[in-house]
């Protein structure tokens, strides 16, 4: 009987969702031995799978286009614990793992004293945990909006990410 009820729960409408996600990232990168702060906008996609009424996996990829010679793509897998706060509103803490792939363009720099400094193009990757929280507002049976804050300590420095999402449940 328990197997039948678990199986029925796994097939319920709303167990799988896909959507688009984007927003600002405030990052303090440690790149090439130097610490630099960047505020950039990113966009990407996500897929979610509900393990139960309260737990779900969230897989996403966010691309930050080139700004000041730096671009990256970050992919993450999070576990979210959903708590109902109103009829169509849920809040959730999240914990997961993210990996970032960063590209920095090469450049030449004249220090003003006749010395030209050359910096080669670099690629770097790093991964680590991400912690955060979010809120989801359902717009009918299938559509929803959500917002998240994520802290990524030690992923090429420390990153603070704010994301807005729109999604569709199957």
Asked if 42 contacts 64 with a C-beta cutoff of 8 angstroms, the reply is yes
How much is the pLDDT for 23?
87
pLDDT of residue 113: 72
Annotation: CATH topology of 14-169: Porin (2.40.160)
Three-state SS at 10: helix
Residues near 36 by beta carbon (within 8 Å), at least 6 away in sequence: 28, 29
> What residue spans define the domains of the chain?
14-169
Q: Is 27 helix (H, G, I), strand (E, B) or coil?
A: strand
Per residue of the chain (170 residues), give pLDDT as tens. 333 333 333 334 458 999 999 888 877 666 556 677 778 888 999 999 999 989 999 999 999 898 877 788 999 999 999 999 998 999 999 999 999 898 877 666 666 776 666 656 778 888 899 999 999 999 988 899 999 999 988 777 788 888 999 999 88
């Amino acid at each position: 009987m328990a197997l039948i009820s678990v199986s029925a729960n796994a097939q319920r409408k709303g167990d799988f969702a896909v959507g688009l996600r984007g927003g600002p990232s405030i990052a303090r990168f440690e790149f090439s031995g130097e610490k630099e702060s960047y505020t950039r906008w990113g966009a990407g996609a996500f897929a979610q799978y509900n393990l139960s009424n309260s737990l779900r996996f969230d897989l996403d990829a966010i691309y930050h286009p080139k700004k000041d010679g730096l671009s990256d793509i970050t992919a993450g897998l999070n576990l979210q614990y959903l708590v109902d706060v109103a009829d169509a509103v849920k809040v959730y803490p999240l914990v997961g793992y993210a990996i970032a792939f960063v590209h920095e363009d090469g450049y030449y720099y004249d220090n003003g004293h006749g010395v030209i400094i050359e910096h080669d193009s670099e690629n770097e990757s790093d991964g680590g945990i991400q912690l955060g929280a979010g809120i989801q507002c359902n717009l009918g049976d299938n559509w929803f909006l959500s917002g998240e804050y994520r802290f990524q300590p030690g992923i090429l420095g420390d990153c603070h990410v704010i994301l807005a999402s729109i999604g569709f449940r199957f």
